[in-house]
């Protein structure tokens, strides 16, 4: 019960890594605020936590909208009385390079960079009263070049730098800020990536797995455990840094 009685907002918690994180947080005693642009899947994540005896609410929110970011923090406080943990996980996967249009860039930057900034801006107001932890989802894509990817990769690199700056600005309020950099993790996002690369699941697993030291792609729950570490008191002397969760992808 590493998050007993902590109020935790997880954005993009309707699917993939966000869903696995919200579920794990529920098991660890957190009161979970499940946020997602997709009402159906977000409500399902919250119901799943409740079905296991945990506490959760669902808030429909598009993190790229400032009004939604503000309402998300307000609803967390209204339901559970504060905010102690924020996981900025929601992302737009604009997997493009020079073919990205201005509209593509706006979607990528608005959701991933501005969304992370705005959700954090409003969540820290209640968090300042108690101290807290923030975990931002970056990626191996912030570190290595991948073909036709930079409309996405550049937003993940921006998240890494925001993490360091936010850690500096929020340290006086006893708020720690860190990032997790997942490698290739099997989620709906990877199915979209597979389609774009015209690969079957087996080909994708073989090709991506071969790029890692562990010889396989990762599961969402494996990233959720790293997020839990950074969100909990177990990482009490860790701030302004990142944790690679990539099976050794970037070690070579
Ligand atoms: N899957 C991977 O291989 C991988 C690798 C590195 C980093 N990541 C990062 O991990 C995070 C989660 O990725 P995933 O693979 O679980 O994605 P996913 O597509 O499986 O789930 C993302 C969730 O975010 C929601 N979402 C999208 N836009 C939103 C918005 N504007 N507001 C609120 N919710 C929104 C979606 O509805 C969905 O439920 C992302 O930040 C991603 O960049 C993933």
Nearest 5°: CA angle at 239, between 117 and 141?
60
Of the candidates 78, 112, 111, 67, the one whose C-alpha atom is nearest the C-alpha of residue 7 is: 78
CA of 172 to the centre of ligand 1 (A): 30
- The domains located in the chain, with CATH, are 7-183+219-244 (3.40.50.720), 184-217 (no CATH)
Burial state string for 31-44 with b = 16 or more CB within 10 A and e = fewer than 16: bbbbbbbeeebbbb
Q: Which atom of ligand 1 is nearest the CA belonging to 141? A: 6
CA of 156 to the centre of ligand 1 (A): 12
CA of 17 to the centre of ligand 1 (A): 7
Is 152 annotated as catalytic?
yes
Low-confidence residues of the chain: pLDDT under 70: none
Structure tokens at 130: 């108690």
Residues 6+ apart with CB under 8 A from 195: none
Average of per-residue pLDDT values in the chain? 98
Q: Which of 13, 17, 43, 69 to mutate to test the pocket of ligand 1 (most atoms within 8 A of CB)?
A: 17
pTM: 0.99
Of the candidates 192, 246, 249, 198, the one whose C-alpha atom is nearest the C-alpha of residue 219 is: 246
Q: Are 30 and 79 in contact (CB under 8 A)?
A: no
Q: What is the pLDDT of residue 32?
A: 99
């Amino acid at each position: 019960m590493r998050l007993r009685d902590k109020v935790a907002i997880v954005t993009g918690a309707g699917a993939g890594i966000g869903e696995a994180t919200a579920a794990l947080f529920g098991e660890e005693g957190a009161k979970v605020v499940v946020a997602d642009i997709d009402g159906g899947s977000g409500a399902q994540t919250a119901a799943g936590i409740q079905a296991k005896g945990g506490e959760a609410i669902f808030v429909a929110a598009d993190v790229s909208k400032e009004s939604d970011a503000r309402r998300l923090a307000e609803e967390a406080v209204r339901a559970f009385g504060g905010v102690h943990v924020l996981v900025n996980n929601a992302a737009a996967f604009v997997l493009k390079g020079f073919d990205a249009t201005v509209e593509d860039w706006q979607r990528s930057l608005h959701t991933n960079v501005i969304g992370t900034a705005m959700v954090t801006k409003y969540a820290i107001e209640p968090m300042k009263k108690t101290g807290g932890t923030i975990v931002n989802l970056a990626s191996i894509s912030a570190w290595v070049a991948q073909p036709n990817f930079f409309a996405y990769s550049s937003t993940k690199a921006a998240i890494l730098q925001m993490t360091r700056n936010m850690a500096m600005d929020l340290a006086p309020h006893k708020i720690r800020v860190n990032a997790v950099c997942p490698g290739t993790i099997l989620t709906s996002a990877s199915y979209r990536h597979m389609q774009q690369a015209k690969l079957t699941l087996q080909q994708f697993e073989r090709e991506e797995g071969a790029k890692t030291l562990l010889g396989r792609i990762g599961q969402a729950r494996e990233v959720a455990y790293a997020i839990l570490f950074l969100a909990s008191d177990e990482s009490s002397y860790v701030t302004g840094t990142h944790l690679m969760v990539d099976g050794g992808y970037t070690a070579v």
